[in-house]
Amino acid sequence: MKDYSNYKKHVQIDMKDYSGKFHFNEQLKQEGTDIKINGKSTQLINGEEKVIRAIVRNSGVENKEANEERSIMIGKEYAYKYGDYVEYLEDIYLTNVSVDKDNPFFNTAKMKRTNHLFKWIYKGVVYSAYGIGTNQTKYTLGTSNLVVGITESDSRYSIDFPNNVNCKTIKVGQRFIFNDGAWKVTQIEYVSSQDAIRSILLGQDSINYEIDDTEHEIAGAYENKHTYTYDIPTSFEVANGSEYTINYSVKDESGKDFDYSLVNVTTTNNTLVQVTNTNGVISIKGLSVGAGSIKLSVPIGSSSQDFDISFEVKDIVVDKIEYKYDFKQGTTIKQYVTNLVTITKLNKGIKDDTLKINYSFDNNTQILINAKKIIITDINNSSFNIKNALVSTKTIIYLTVNDIGTGTKILDNFPLTLITGI
């Protein structure tokens, strides 16, 4: 009888789940469009980059910019939350309500189109973010005559931003330039329980043409403007696997250091070097052989001073040290004969003329030297003479030679034979 014990059993399919996913995917094929979430068109899902696709529909009052809302249906596999930006048909939307996750097959939310790219300066750095700006003025021109000679002013504006790291730099008192006017933040509040939206209220301010950059809509761009001097290298080399340090400086006309925490340092290729910037010191670690550049950006008002520092990561060259020794008369020294001993140091095959040696002999030999039966004479830093002056019987002496610079033992109790002459 045939054995069916290993036969794969039928797996029951949840038809409700299968049908729901099937119909949503079919709908996605027909109505879906590619979008970006927080500037990214793909997300990493199950180890693969997947294009973000969703169904977007009108949801607000058409042709009214301040009320232009859309609904979005997006698969549950995507990371999408309250406060995220969505780029759809070249417009930037802000997800301004909580994402509804009740549907088992997809998530839904509403989003409103942003209407301006707002810019501001915090600690010398220019930030920007898309926001939903709304006029909160009670009267058409922001003013109303209550009685003769008394005027109430109420020029107000609100902006909704995502509550991200950049937008958290907006503080009460921050000034903005937009709509051909200047505005100052008077209040900051959160409009969601998750603090996903940062809402700011602004009152009208006056443009200061000495410090405000009206062309680029940056308030305070020229405030406290200084003349800076820069001491920044243009190139360097680093060994692969080793570390290299660059010291640079940026000082104003009084000699005061720039706030180095604001300096941005990037590299053209993170696979070649690893770069960190700390208080005017750039630390570089060579990761692989190649050439590239480091960009150092110093924010000055509404612009920045950029410097390119070229680099090359090279293979580590390991010194190959070897020693050679020569006994001009050989290792047997006859009576009355002088033998020249020469030590040569080679680094990768090239003679190193910086070699300095010292030498010593065993105790018995030293007794003969003291009795002047053996005479030692220095020639230079790497050679000396051994003369067999009065030794007439066969005698073994032992020589030790060291490299003074490295401490390397070149000869260790090397035997030489002294014999009688002819």
DSSP calls for 303-314: EEEEEEEEEEEE
pLDDT digits (tens, 9 = 90+) for 42-53: 999 888 999 999
Return the beta strands (E) in 2-142 as ranges: 33-34, 36-37, 42-45, 48-51, 53-58, 69-75, 85-88, 91-95, 106-113, 116-122, 125-135
Average pLDDT over residues 269-283: 88
The pLDDT value given to residue 85: 95
C-alpha to C-alpha distances, 271 to 267, 291, 332, nearest whole angstrom: 10, 11, 60
Q: What is the mean pLDDT of residues 244-258?
A: 87
Q: Which amino acid is residue 369, in one-letter code?
A: I
Query: Is pLDDT of 414 > 70?
Result: yes
- Cα–Cα dist 414/420, whole Å: 20
Q: Is the pLDDT of residue 171 over 80?
A: yes
pLDDT at 144 over 50: no
Instruction: Give 395 or 315, the one with higher predicted confidence.
Output: 395
**Per-residue H/E/C for 16-43:** HHHHHHHHHHHHHHHHCEECEECCECEE
Read off the tokens for 337: 């004969």
Q: Which amino acid is at 78?
A: Y
What number of other Cβ atoms are within 10 A of residue 321's Cβ? 13
pLDDT of residue 275 exceeding 70: yes
Beta-sheet pairing, 303-314 with 264-267: unpaired
pLDDT tens, residue by residue, 52-69? 999 999 876 655 544 588
The pLDDT score that the predictor gives to residue 225 is 65
Mean pLDDT of 190-202: 78
Q: Give me the chain's average pLDDT, please.
A: 85
Question: CA–CA separation, 117 vs 138, rounded Å?
Answer: 24
- Predicted confidence (pLDDT) at residue 227 exceeds the cutoff of 60: yes
403 within 8 A of 412, measured Cβ to Cβ: no
pLDDT at 150 over 50: no
Pick the most confident of 4-13, 212-221, 271-280, 355-364.
355-364
Burial label, 73 (beta-carbon count in 10 A; 0-12, 13-18, 19+)? buried
Tokens (6 digits) for 9: 């059993």
Is the separation of the CB atoms in 253 and 226 below 8 Å?
yes
Rounded Cα distance, 32 and 198, in Å? 30
Mean pLDDT of 174-182: 91
Percent of the chain with pLDDT over 70: 86
Q: How far is CA 294 from CA 278, 286, 304, in A?
A: 15, 13, 15
Fold held by 229-314:
Immunoglobulin-like (2.60.40)
Q: How many CA atoms lie within 13 A of 192 on its CB side?
A: 18
> Residue 19: pLDDT band by 50, 70, 90 thresholds?
confident
Round to whole Å and give the CA distance between 282 and 263: 11
CATH topology agreement for domains 229-314 and 321-419: yes
Residue 193 has pLDDT above 60, yes or no: no
Stronger pLDDT, 228 or 33, i.e. the higher one: 33
- Tens-place pLDDT, residues 355-366: 999 999 999 999
Question: Span 306-324, mean pLDDT?
Answer: 86
Q: Quick one: pLDDT at residue 154?
A: 58
Least confident of 8-12, 123-127, 343-347, 370-374: 8-12
CA 147 – CA 136 distance, rounded (Å): 23
Looking at domain 25-113, which of 2.40.10, 3.40.1350, 2.60.40, 1.10.1200 is its CATH number? 2.40.10
Residues in Cβ contact with 131 at an 8 Å cutoff, skipping those fewer than 6 apart: 94, 114, 115, 116, 118, 159, 160, 161
pLDDT for 146 beyond 70: no
pLDDT of residue 192: 57
Nearest to 39 by CA among 177, 123, 198, 162: 162
Cα–Cα dist 312/234, whole Å: 12
pLDDT digits (tens, 9 = 90+) for 99-114: 998 888 899 999 999 9
pLDDT for residue 335 is more than 60: yes
Cα distance between residue 328 and residue 343, in whole Å: 11
Overall CATH class of domain 321-419: mainly beta
pTM for this structure? Answer: 0.51
Instruction: Give CA–CA dist 375/357, Å, rounded.
Output: 18
pLDDT reading at 7 higher than 80: no
Residue 313: count other Cβ atoms within 10 Å of its Cβ. 24
Q: What is the pLDDT of residue 223?
A: 62
147 pLDDT more than 50:
no
Q: Kindly list the domain boundaries of the chain, sorted by start residue.
A: 25-113, 118-205, 229-314, 321-419
Backbone angles phi, psi at 4, to 5 degrees: -110, 20
Beta bridge partners of 194: none
Structure tokens at 203: 């009152």
What is the end-to-end Cα distance of the chain in Å, rounded?
A: 106
Inform me whether the pLDDT recorded for 301 exceeds 80: no
